[in-house]
Each structure stands twice: as structure tokens, then as C-alpha cells.
Amino acid sequence: MIFDLGLLAKIFAINLSYVTLNTIRFMLTMKGYRILAPLLSMVEIVIYVLGLSMVMNSLDNPLNLAAYALGYGAGIGIGIKIEDWLALGYTMITVMTQDVGSTMPNQLRDLGYGVSSYRANGRDGERLVLEILLTRKAERHLQNKVLEIDPKAFMVSYDPKYIHGGFWSKRVHLGK
């Protein structure tokens, strides 16, 4: 078994790059980026073939396979971090507060958020429910603002599959 640190570093770096791009491309595909995702996949497959060929040409060395596996795992982690940093797309946040007379809807509207609100009945009584569509980049800011207004507020967020009309109707499909 030959210990070639340069080859191990190349295999690791190539697979790290490949899987990072693969993770980002998958996220772009799920968000509907119909041009960018296929373009990225072309770069991704070239990198994949380079890395795989290096490992396949030296299967007698388990260190090469280990470098490949380590690059794969690290690539997933880095890809997820990059996707979180890019924060592509939109999210829908539902906020529930026990204060049915809360001024939270208007406070959030004054900050530029589109807020729909209605009253609902929970196990322990009436609640005020807010539905807020926003960019993923603004999600953390909104969560902090909601908790600043009502530290006991219940929040849940999810990715909308389909958006038509309303506050964001002219912005939602830009960039795809």
C-alpha cells in the first residue's frame, strides 16, 4: 500500500467539490431553478467522473477509498451550509399567540411583511393565528421579531409548493 498524500488530497478535494455541488444542485432542483440546476449538474458530473476514475484506478489502496468517503461526507455538510447561507426561495410561517387582541399583525405589516390573521380555537381557548409568506433570507429576522413581541408565541415554518396571487405574486417567480 502506497501512501501518496497528494493523491489522497486530490481525491478528497474532488469528492468534496462534487458532493457540495450535488447538494446545491439538488436544492436548486427542488426550488424549481430550471436553468441553473442543469448547468450546475454538467459541472458536477465532470468532477464526479474525475474523482471516481482516480479511485477506480487504484482500488488496491483503501486510503484512496477512505479519502473519497471523507470528501463525500464533508461535501454534504458544506453543501447544506452553503444552501442555508443562500437561503433560496420562500417560506410560510404560521404564528399562534394566546393574545387575540395582539397588535403583532400590524407591527409585522409595518416592517413590510404580508400578514393574514384570523381567530382560531385551541384546546385552551381562543388564539390569534398569523400566516406570513416571506423569503427564507428574512426568516430568522421574523422569528426574532415575533419572539420579541410575544415570547410565548408558537411558530411553525414550511416551504410552500405553489404560490399564486397575493402580496408576493409579482416577485415569486423571478430568478427561476
Q: For residue range 116-151, what is the model confidence (pLDDT) as tens digits?
A: 999 999 899 999 999 999 999 999 999 999 999 999
Instruction: Compute the average pLDDT of residues 39-51.
Output: 92
Cell numbers for 145 = 421579531
Please report which confidence band the pLDDT of residue 167 belongs to, taking 50, 70 and 90 as the band edges: low
Residue showing cell 421579531: 145
- At the second CATH level, the architecture of 90-158 is 2-Layer Sandwich (3.30)
Instruction: Compute the average pLDDT of residues 59-85.
Output: 91
pLDDT above 50 for 176: no
Contact 133, 168 (CB under 8 A): yes
| Percent of the chain whose pLDDT exceeds 70 | 94
Instruction: Compute the average pLDDT of residues 96-115.
Output: 95
pLDDT above 90 for 3: no
pLDDT above 70 for 174: no
Task: Give Cβ neighbours of residue 167 (< 8 Å, ≥ 6 apart).
Answer: 114, 133
pLDDT above 80 for 164: no
CA distances from 7 to 18, 39, 71, 128 (A): 16, 28, 13, 60
